[in-house]
Structure 1
């Protein structure tokens, strides 16, 4: 919620009219509190903040005759003092003296503590000092509901005080309070909670391995995987659950977690268990497996050659062979795998050829029209530079199925021949709208505009011709 949007303005008006913050906006959102603070502190075009008190008579302006006679017009009753603003508005008032005086209301109003946290990063030193003294006097567990706001304000120049208090409170709090924050919806909050829990040893190695294997946050994956690996000692696993920790890491879906598990095999003395990961789908995991085997005195190259003898069972072995193979000896085997009937084998064989730097563009050209699903999400054209004057056959065909049209766009960055004939549906001559939409989202702005105009026969821009994003250049 932005400090200038209509939702914020409605919230500020409601609080000025006597509503509580809980009734006006979502008090669980750190962004809502910051937007409310910004909305009150910026009084431009906000007449509801400086209105005349209700019942005060309007004083008429002096007329020209009154000014000539030296009079100021009819006398009016002295203006009544405006009513004090609500505490929530006073804590965000543009005047620093008003904000400083309003801090006393927080002692008896716990629902205003989020604004107390905001004032701890105030730009006025007296306001900031008083707010910090009040926040430091709160019990540690009172800061946990404010963790999301505290961590967001920590990005400001004067926002580190509240973060330090929160970290100290988490390190001294009972384990239940810290573990409760690990399930917080705010990313910064649960990351800090996990970091404190790992430092204090509040999570078992099996729990850390489970979090690393199932969490989608890569920061937590690294944190928990490294902490779980630390429980594996030389010669075996420390504790009865050490083997279960390694198995959980090795079976994880994220490659960075599997690579941590493979590396931990060396500390556990299980070098031979890294051999199945030589053909892992991730290059990082394959590199870790080769490292562990070499540390155990095993050369991975002969193993790769054996795996490539049955490539359908281990498709990624072709990529691993290129990563550690010999250019003169193994290039021929990889070129033979380029013709393999299994699409994933062909894909990894090209990756191996790139690793060996033995790519021949003319031999890979027929693969641009490969309609198999593993190829649709890749760009074999990345294996080599775009030669001038080279035309892709996938863009030269006038009538193409929808799937192959999409493949052509993904592989070459091309949205069809001039006039959009490369994106025509078979038998109808109509342009494929879905492919045009995908084409319009990629490339430079000029190419995107051409993708829209191509349905009506528009010519490609010069930038598209120079960059090879049209049919004349791949």
Structure 2
């Protein structure tokens, strides 16, 4: 019995290739080299992909070639072949684990006996190697046995849990974190450090909640609070901000009023209110010195500002920092303080962020804007972000102008714009709502439809023409349509 591995990468798998599928195709077609026991996959799901691909690709479900690799026989569509292959000495342990969830009872029983033997012979090694795979198998109809068995084995071998808590697989880290927290209440600093270092939000929340519960029971811990405040995941930082009040550090709330996360900023404003302060005044004070204004200070101020603060945000539209200008425009849109005369020139701004926010602000008044200047902004010589911004406004305007802009961009040099334009043409012309925005019997609409005819079948084109009362197009080459 070979343990296999889930830590490497299948040799010969190129970029973008699914290693499990590539290895299965190579073995089934007789092109694989080396023993199946040497298969090495980077992800636990590659083993189940290998199993599924072998079963789908094998052309002879009634028998296996005499020289078939053990991996092919273990995943063969014929249950008798799978059961016989389980007795091979070189059977990879990950594929044995997959067979514990087999739909054939005899195969399941034999595979579970072999997995029990592996757990008895080397509990730590088997748990470390197979836990990520077993967690995937637990989702199957017959996969609960392996998951319950591994959970019991981890309770008996708690020394493996720290290793699994640092596994590269997020699902494994969540599983190990839940088991660790179920065994014992952690130290608040240790839980906070784990939450701060975690990259998976679900796992980070487990550790952050554990740190909060430990501090609620044993009192605030400065080191734990600092660790939470230094986390990259916003939810963890927000937990740290809420702890500042009990730690007697409410004065530090101002630092997080300009945090990059809206959740953290909201928690900071709550903390200011709980401490008897005025979050609006604090946020406005962060904008007092224009030279020291930062991006998210503008965002935070707009979240608690009113219509009377529109002039202050408009003054920041001329700020030297592009990020500050973009957030000022976003704040104006939030307060419904957009002005077409102010925003229209910004569609051609050198900053993509500013142009995007200007276009978003203009979408609500797009029907009042002249079409000619907007069409000039989507010309091929314009920067990509300018064409995107102007096209957003033209599409929001709808009607013939929106359709014309989409057809013009079907040949744009930007593949993303071409794709978006094609999708929007189809959405417009194939939906009753989109057709309702177009005039009937309009010669320009007919000409535009001819230019984008490749996006539709002949039958669909005929339906669109009838809906818009347009003359029939050229006769279709498809006799079924004629």
Give me the TM-score of the superposition, normalised by structure 1: 0.69
Alignment coverage as a number of residue pairs = 406
Query: What aligned pairs does 1:75-474 form with structure 2 within 5 A after superposition?
Result: 88-100=71-83, 102-103=85-86, 105=87, 109=89, 111-136=91-116, 138-139=119-120, 140-141=123-124, 142-175=126-159, 177-200=160-183, 205-233=188-216, 237-238=220-221, 243-315=222-294, 316-327=296-307, 329-372=308-351, 374-375=353-354, 378=357, 380-382=359-361, 384-385=363-364, 387-388=366-367, 390-391=369-370, 393=373, 395-397=375-377, 404-410=383-389, 412-413=391-392, 433=413, 436-445=414-423, 459=451
Q: 2: distance between equivalents of 1:371 and 1:3?
A: 43
Structure with bigger helix share is 2
| Other structure's SS at 1:267 match | coil
- In structure 2, the gaps of 5 or more residues are 1-16, 396-400, 427-447, 456-482
List per-residue Cα deviations over 1:329-378 (Å, max 9, x = no partner). 33333333334444333322233333333434444323222223642665
Q: Aligned in 2, Cα 1:232/1:460: closer, same or farther, shift over 3 Å?
A: farther
- Contact (CA 8 Å) 1:3, 1:37: kept in 2 or not? no
Q: 2: distance between equivalents of 1:318 and 1:18?
A: 61
Q: 1:34 aligns with which of 32, 45, 48?
A: 48
Instruction: Please report the RMSD computed on the Cα atoms of aligned residues, expressed in angstroms.
Output: 4.5
Q: What displacement does 1:48 show?
A: 11
- Contact (CA 8 Å) 1:319, 1:348: kept in 2 or not? yes
- Contact (CA 8 Å) 2:186, 2:210: kept in 1 or not? no
| Other structure's SS at 1:279 match | coil
List per-residue Cα deviations over 1:200-229 (Å, max 9, x = no partner). 459754454444444433333333333334
Q: Aligned in 2, Cα 1:119/1:314: closer, same or farther, shift over 3 Å?
A: same
